[in-house]
Amino acid sequence: MSGAPQPQSVASSRPDPYAPKGLALTLESTGAILLALIWILPLAYAVWAAIHPAEYTTRFELTAPLTLDNFTRAWAAAPFARYFLNTFILVTMILAFQLVLGTLAAYALARQDFWGRDIAFALILAQLMIMPDALIVENYRTLAKFNLIDTIPAIALPYIASAFGIFLLRQTFKTVPKELDDAARVEGASPLQVLMKVYVPLAKPTYVAYGLVSVSYHWNNFLWPLLVTNSVESRPLTVGLQVFSSSDQGIDWAVICAATLMTSAPLLVGFLLFQRQFVQSFMRAGIK
């Protein structure tokens, strides 16, 4: 359980005796590609429906005319600009708090030896099992007491202390050589200065990995935002999309597909551009 294990492709330099060759490789490639086609089909279909006129939604002809009309209609039919802004504020707010709270807590757990540390760690880890989604009823009551229902902070609050983030940072901080810490203290740095000057810079890959996972998660999160928001001013994209596609749009699949793609676009484009970074981040965040 090291902090930042680097998956290395050690196998590439030496020939693998079990690497399939010839017919076996062809069969394997065919199977893998077929499965990949099935896996990408929903997205491919959404792209098809979104960039063609509605009459081609279920007619697949190569000569079908292209159009951006569905996107314009979707954009005009619901306040997507506002939803984008709300989601942007939401994920930024959550990530900022998660990083600050997580860094402080992880530093205490990794490098301070104090009374009650192990109990505190166990209490924090409880959140890995009892995820906020399971506690919607009571959390709603708490936020109603604070008079925060239908605000963006209400969506963010249950998530800003993340056991997952604290755990990940703790594991990373534990790999920082103690000598660096001691050297900084000899120079007269305070504990917080040591944290900011020694630990945080060394944990940068973990911060990036955690950041990507957190932003993806909260960009896509739906249930809790649905419960605590009921106006355009606070709704994030996912809830906006749901309101949009279940309301008067009827079943205009072309427009719904366009709206679906718009909602996913920022993450999707980010993923296509930084594919390696994304996959490695999710991997790094998972292997603890």
- The secondary structure of 177-224, three-state, reads CHHHHHHHHHCCCCHHHHHHHHHHHHCHHHHHHHHHHHHHHHHHCCHH
Residue ranges in 191-210 that form contacts with another protein under rule CB under 8 A: 191
Using the rule CB under 8 A, is 219 a contact of another protein?
A: yes
Site for another protein in 21-40 (CB under 8 A): 25, 28-29, 31-33, 35-37, 39-40
Output 117 or 204, the one with its CB closest to another protein. 117
Q: With contacts defined by CB under 8 A, name the span among 69-77, 136-144, 179-187, 196-204 that binds another protein.
A: 136-144
Distance (Å, rounded) from C-alpha 106 to C-alpha 122?
13
Does 144 interact with another protein (rule: CB under 8 A)?
no
User: Is 275 a binder of another protein (CB under 8 A)?
Assistant: yes
**CB 98 to another protein: min, Å:** 9
- Binding letters toward another protein, positions 64-93, x by CB under 8 A: ------------------------------
CB of 105 to another protein, least distance (A): 4
At 11, the amino acid letter reads: A
Touching another protein, residues 247-266 (CB under 8 A): 251, 253, 256-257, 260, 263-264
User: Least distance (Å) from another protein to the CB of residue 201?
Assistant: 18
- 109 in contact with another protein (CB under 8 A): yes
Interface with another protein, residue 139, by CB under 8 A:
yes
Q: Minimum Å distance from CB 72 to another protein?
A: 19
Residue holding tokens 């005009």? Answer: 76
Q: Under a CB-based contact definition with an 8 Å cutoff, are residues 288 and 103 in contact?
A: no
**Contact pattern for another protein over residues 230 through 249, marking x by CB under 8 A:** -------xx--xx--xx---
Scan for tokens 């490098």, then name that residue: 111
Q: Does 96 bind another protein (CB under 8 A)?
A: no
The pair of structure tokens assigned to 98 is 């998660």
As measured in angstroms, the least distance from the Cβ of 218 to another protein is 11
Total chain residues near another protein (CB under 8 A): 100
- Which member of 68, 96, 130, 183 binds another protein (CB under 8 A)? 130
Say whether residue 273 binds another protein (CB under 8 A): no
